[in-house]
Amino acid sequence: MDFSLTPEQEMLRDTASALFSREFPSSLVRDACYDPVTDGASVAAAAFDRHLRPWISMGDESVVDQCLFMEEAGAAITRAPFWSASALALPLLRAVNHPDADRLADGSLTATVALAGSTGEWIANRDLTKMLVTDFGLVDIVVFVDAGGNTREPEGGSDSADTDRSHTDSGDGSAGLGGEALVWVSPAADLEARVVENLDLARPLAEVTRPAMGDHQPRMITEADLHSVLERASVVLAAEMVGTARWLKEATIEYVSTREQFGRPVGSFQGLQWKLVDASLELEKAGAAVYYAAMCLDADDPDRHRATHVAKSAAGTTARRWAKDAMQAHGGIGYTWEHDLHLYLRRANAADRLLGDSAWHMEQLALDLFESGQQHV
Amino acid sequence: MKLGWDSEHESFRSELVSFLETHAPPEALGGRDLIGTDTGDIPQWARRWQAELFDNGWMVPAYPPELGGRDADPLECLIYAEELGRRGIPRSVHFGGYAIVGPSLLEFGSEEQKALAPAAIRGDTIWCVGMSEPDAGSDLANLSTTAVLDGDSFVVNGQKVWTSYALHAEQCFCYVRTDPDAGRHKGISVLTVAMDSPGVTVRPLRHITGSAEFAEVFFDDVVVPAGNLVGELHGGWRITMGSLAHERGGLWVDGVAAAERAISDLVKLSISMGRGSDPVLRRQLTELFVEVQSLRALGYKGFASFAQGSSAPEHSYMKLASSELRQRLYETGMDIQGSFGAITDDAAAVDAGRWQHSWQVALAATIGGGTSEIQRNVVASRVLGLPRG
Ligand SMILES: Cc1cc2nc3c(=O)[nH]c(=O)nc-3n(C[C@H](O)[C@H](O)[C@H](O)COP(=O)(O)OP(=O)(O)OC[C@H]3O[C@@H](n4cnc5c(N)ncnc54)[C@H](O)[C@@H]3O)c2cc1C
């Protein structure tokens, strides 16, 4: 597998890096959500409109390219429905040929997807009345995914419990889908919702009451296509988490190289050095795993399912580890509201729990590994 | 970024695969940990196999045919490592000769010394590498074996330790102190020393596995011709850095391939031992799988920088990561066996004691070639740029 970047990919990465560091200082999210000022939310929204809307179409590009962009996004904390719209909603609407896909891609519409029920599981299930939705309040439309109507029972169907367990459970959040699902769109303004405060104030969460499908003209999506969409969203989110971890790492190395105690930089103490070396190794591995998964998705390689679970769990684990280790290495200063570290700590710990946390992705892998192991014993 | 390589490189792969399939001896297959036969000697089949690889241009592919290669490019070298790694085939059971001595002679040696390289690479001459001493392990620059120039020869006195294959080696690539008054790194030189020289005594040391693969080597007024100096007088420190430079991009492949084989065998082992639904074990194996897969991806990422001629920080991580990972994998193989995990008797043990044996062998991997602690120090200062203590 060839990890070298084309000149276009290098340029994309550099452009994204410059864009986020220039246009999205942390003051933007602080003013919009952490220490709100009167026009904070509208300034943040204006920055999104001007600088990120044109990039929502990344959801139509190769997964590798979108990851390169999102890794840079993760190194800045933004309050914008960017991942929801470009990595989740756009590929989903594209997969069902929904006309709103074009409007998302040209930047005239923003969207998010209602997938997670109130238990936090990322499943498509019609029976759930309360849905947890990311970036609600920042988007124009919400895309709903309903478990298929004309095939098996979504939950607890007698034939699905043991015999076919890996197939019904391993679908990246689509447990009990039963072959196919229905995708339909509702204007956000029509929905009844309650804001659910979460760790990451810059990626707001709301509990949306699922409306009746009514005359919303659903479109059919196969289980396999829905998997592909969710795999893409997971890998792109993993790339974002790698960027978040990278910011934490760079901030930490800079700090421990200058902060002195006992007459020397604290970063010269071996105990602290080895902690950072081990965490850096884990981050390097996670970063590589994410781009490997992205290449698998682009090539539709058979390893794509496993590679996605590896990438999402490795990235989530490393982002959370870096949040904790960065906090420890900064000492008291890192625990202050003024320091940006907690913005990243919040994002890392919240992002890992989107689209299935690391433990969930590992359980999916275990199902797959042990099923294929069984066939070879 | 893309998954596959171009077709030209794939034809290199198929030529190699058909050679391996028709020529590799059964003893070489399956990734058994071969280092260390009971008496530390080198089995006949391994000697024949190394010579056969050399004669067919498959020993060090980047070298020209007269040095056992076929002028392969970096990607072909990687493919080579992949295919041997996948099958668990070693090219030699004593890596010192082809991986350290041969390349160092070619890079730093005189014309006469360069002429010794083909036999070192083909395995016709068995070499040992004398670096470590009782007071110079991780701190190699503290070595104190002396060589005093007296007319047209050196007189060598001192002791080496942990010297692999010393018992059967004909030559020693030996690091000595030639200027005791210069700085620690400045007074070191390299000599080639014939192991049958008067005054050389080898006392075998046994590994924890029982194999006498390494030894202590004593030098008592050993007379070495001045022409055996490799490179410049007092210039030996540079030579410690030399080895198969063109293969550096793929040195990790073997360890990762062994780890990949181990993880899929561990899953099968846990199922066949009736523990396939033990949630703790499943989680443990899945975490290991995630590590193996991401380490493999990291290796390829490092290769991409290497092939473009940039330094690859990834490689500093690879030895550390893969040696520690393999220890955990093999130990898990013992854990799955429960109370039987400590049985090493070939006939009674699960998988003929494979996990127990590999675990013991793998314990050396975090010590030899720079300990894990030293690797962490290196990453801290050279990769992360942290201030020195
Ligand atoms: C199977 C095997 C084969 C070998 N073959 C050869 C061979 O052919 N030729 C040869 O020359 N040598 C050989 N060696 C020796 C090997 O290179 C040394 O064992 C190794 O460099 C470590 O040195 P040491 O054993 O003296 O340990 P020490 O250097 O004494 O280390 C003891 C402990 O202290 C730690 N430590 C040391 N310095 C630091 C530091 N700065 N910071 C933190 N921790 C530190 C080490 O990591 C280790 O845990 C072989 C070793 C093994 C196990």
The three-point CA angle B142-B35-B92 to 5° equals 95
8 Å CB contact of B297 and A291: yes
The alpha carbon of B137 and the centre of ligand 1 are apart by a number of angstroms equal to 5
Give me the residue spans of the domains in chain B.
7-93, 125-234, 250-383
pLDDT in tens, B113-167: 999 999 999 999 999 999 999 999 999 999 999 999 999 999 999 999 999 999 9
Per-residue pLDDT at A153 exceeds 70: no
1.20.1260.10, 3.40.120.10, 3.50.50.60, 1.10.540.10: CATH of B7-93: 1.10.540.10
Give me the residue spans of the domains in chain A.
224-372
Is residue A123 very low, low, confident or very high in pLDDT (cuts 50, 70, 90)? low
Three-state SS for B191? strand
8 Å CB contact of B4 and A370: no
> Any idea which fold A224-372 has?
Butyryl-CoA Dehydrogenase, subunit A; domain 3 (1.20.140)
A11 touching chain B per CB within 8 A: no
> Any idea which fold B250-383 has?
Butyryl-CoA Dehydrogenase, subunit A; domain 3 (1.20.140)
Helices vs. strands in chain B: H and E counts, helices first? 13, 8
- Concatenating the DSSP letter of every residue in B98-163 gives IIIIHHHHHHH--HHHHTTHHHHHHTSS-EEEE--BTTBSS-GGG---EEEEETTEEEEEEEEEEE
User: Most confidently modeled of A116-130, A154-168, B31-45, B235-249?
Assistant: B235-249
Per-residue pLDDT at A173 exceeds 70: no
The alpha carbon of B162 and the centre of ligand 1 are apart by a number of angstroms equal to 9
pTM of the model: 0.93
8 Å CB contact of A294 and B1: yes
**A261 sits in which H/E element:** strand A260-261
Residue type, A306: R
pLDDT in tens, B347-369: 888 888 899 999 999 999 999 98
Protein residue with least CA distance to atom 45, ligand 1: B373
Is the C-alpha dihedral spanning B380, B386, B388, B389 positive or negative? negative
List Cα–Cα distances, A365 to A6, A163, A170, A306, B253, in angstroms.
32, 17, 8, 6, 23
**Nearest residue on chain A to B322, alpha-carbon basis:** A281
Exposure of A127 by Cβ count < 10 A (0-12 exposed, 13-18 middle, 19+ buried)? exposed
> Any idea which fold B125-234 has?
Butyryl-CoA Dehydrogenase, subunit A; domain 2 (2.40.110)
Over chain A, what is the mean pLDDT? 90
- Spell B251-276 as b/e; 16+ CB within 10 A means b: bbbbbbbbbbbbbbbbbbbbbeeebb
CA–CA separation, B360 vs B61, rounded Å?
A: 31
What percentage of residues in chain B have a pLDDT greater than 90? Answer: 77
